[in-house]
Structure 1
Amino acid sequence: MLIQSQHVDLTTPTGTMRTYVHRPADGGKYPVILFYSEIFQQTGPIERAARLLAGHGYAVLVPEVFHELNPIGTVLAYDNYGRDKGNADKAAKPVTDYDGDNRAMLDWAAQQQWSNGQFGAMGFCIGGHLAFRAALQPEIKATACFYATDLHNHTIPNAPGQHSMERLDDLKGELLMIWGKQDPHIPAAGRAEVYRKLASAELNFTWHEFNGQHAFMRDEGERYDPQLAQTGYNLALGLFGRVLRG
């Protein structure tokens, strides 16, 4: 399937948010996936992942997650500076600001002729958390979260009652939770706490823990595991195909 890519600048309550759009080029109508990057925004690996999803018949929206804190078009490198800047941005943006970002993308995509009105979400690292956050929106029916950081702690600023794990009653769609057992950012105790809360809330979710490191989906750097990445994509595409295509 041939795809096309462009960008759109969306208005959010906290400023203009550049959003990259990757979708099939044939003029049909497709489910829409809100796809959330790591702290580095749309790097090469993130763009390739988005285009892979688009090539399976989805319109994929990749927002600049820290648009309030950087010039439009900012991409951070996978180096010490990029890591430190991205983590500082994560610590500076309240989690509720992402709700406005989600709303802007959902409202815009719903008006596009290439949307079939079915919505999902997916993300890596902080993007896994932001995909989980997007699932609080009623339109999101299927969500794939890869090694979602900060669900088990309070690193991302939040007001009382606004932590993502404190709003599980708002989560109505199906979840796919994927983790790496060798991921130091989400230790075993943290994963167990997230699992316990999801199970106690009786949510519809599937849980997978693999022998992988943090960022094993990223096709750049020494932590990339191609076999696990393929398994991860297959699981996500299986979820989206079953739920968003019926």
Structure 2
Amino acid sequence: MASVQGTAVDITTEDGVADAYLAHPDDGLPHPGVLFYQDAFGLRPHLRSMADRLAGAGYTVLVPNVFYRHGRTPVFDLPEFIDPSARPEIFQQIGPVMQTLTPELAMRDADAYLRWLADSPLVADGPVALTGYCMGARLALFTAGTYPDRVAVAAGFHGARLATDAPDSPHLVVEKVTAEVYFAHADEDPSMPPEQQQLLEETLTAAGVRHRCEVYPGAHHGFTQADTATYHQEGDERHWAALLDLLERTF
């Protein structure tokens, strides 16, 4: 693993300034770019450590605070260990903020994040990778379909409501996706039930998108997040193996 440098950066968007975390190998050289989309709990020490791990494998990783319209990080006052069943007010705070990040706003921001990566001397030329967690999996799919020429590969883990009957369901952008995609579903996740998994799979297949969708047994929504009550070590290790394999094959 390469030694890693992590810094705070600011990204100018059409609607303001998004604070972000940037992690990259400490060699001053350009590396393949990864846009890392947060879960609902936001940019916090655990996500920075995940970005550091990816950077150690040879990538330049950008983790934007997608809730920047509501303030700089930390947007929410979170405990070190997040257990929403013990602290239900956490979601009472987060829910309304999530609702305000419409696909339209999120994709306007995605353009700024992708341009920032393209302009950075620490990022190799060419399309980048996306990885996203929970709500970030939705953002990854939307981004791959909205900016296909700028995305080489996209991964999403324990994504929620990826294929619904809503007019802005993420799966509706699949026909524009040119990247290879990978989705890992938790088998105990009511926000991504079997019928949605099947619709996503069928939509990706019909569109001719190179893809793999897998169900992780015994895992709950949020299984990659070690600072939460839904962490599942086996699922997390499998996620790292799948993600790093995808990136190595792509870059």
Instruction: Report the 3-state secondary structure (helix = DSSP H, G, I; strand = E; otherwise coil) of the residue aligned with 1:102.
Output: helix
SS, match of residue 27 in structure 2: coil
Which of residues 205, 215, 219 in structure 2 aligns to 1:199? 205
Provide runs of 4+ in structure 1 moved above 3 Å. none
Deviations 1:117-176 (A, max 9, x none): 240000110011111122121211011110111222377xxxx6x543222232111001
**TM, length-normalised to structure 2:** 0.89
User: Which of the numbers 162, 168, 178 marks the counterpart of 1:172?
Assistant: 178
The alpha carbon displacement at 1:195 in A equals: 1.4
**Aligned partners of 2:116 and 2:7: how far apart in 1?**
15
SS at match of 1:190: helix
Percent sequence identity over matched residues?
23
**How many equivalent residue pairs?**
238
CA contact (8 A) 1:40 1:83 kept: no
Q: For residue 43 of structure 1, what is the aligned residue in structure 2?
A: 44
Distance between the aligned counterparts of 1:239 and 1:182, measured in 2? 24
Query: Is 1:125 aligned to 2:134, yes or no?
Result: yes
Q: Is the 8 A contact 1:9 1:18 kept in 2?
A: yes
| 8 A contact 1:32–1:120 mirrored in 2 | yes
The 2-side partners of 1:171 and 1:84 are apart by 34
Aligned-partner Cα distance in 2 for 1:186–1:4? 36
Aligned to 2:114: 106
Q: CA deviation at 1:44?
A: 2.3
For residue 7 of structure 1, report the CA deviation from its aligned partner. Answer: 1.8
3-state SS, counterpart of residue 161 of structure 2: coil
Letter in 2 for 1:190: Q
State the superposition RMSD in angstroms: 1.6
| Partner Cα separation in structure 1 for residue 50 and residue 143 of structure 2 | 19
Deviates more, 1:146-155 or 1:182-191: 146-155
Stretch moving more, 32-41 or 197-206: 197-206
Q: Counterpart amino acid of 2:50?
A: A
Residue by residue over 1:66-103, the C-alpha shift from the partner in whole angstroms, topping out at 9 and shown as x without a partner, is: 111x1112243234233222221121221111112111
Name the counterpart of 1:116. 124
Map 1:84-233; keep pairs closer than 5 Å.
84-118=92-126, 119-136=128-145, 137=147, 138-153=149-164, 163-211=169-217, 212-233=219-240
**Given that residues 43 and 75 in structure 1 are in contact (C-alpha distance below 8 angstroms), is that contact kept between their aligned partners in structure 2?**
no
Q: Output one character per residue of 1:2-43: Cα deviation in whole Å (capped at 9) or x when no partner.
A: 111112211212221112111111112100100011111112
Equivalent pair of 1:142/1:175 in contact (CA under 8 Å): yes
Within 1, Cα distance between the matches of 2:184 and 2:173? 20
Q: Is the 8 A contact 1:95 1:163 kept in 2?
A: no
For 1:194 and 1:88, the matched residues in 2 are separated by 26
Greater displacement, 205-214 / 38-47: 38-47
- CA distance in 2: counterparts of 1:51 and 1:134, whole angstroms: 23
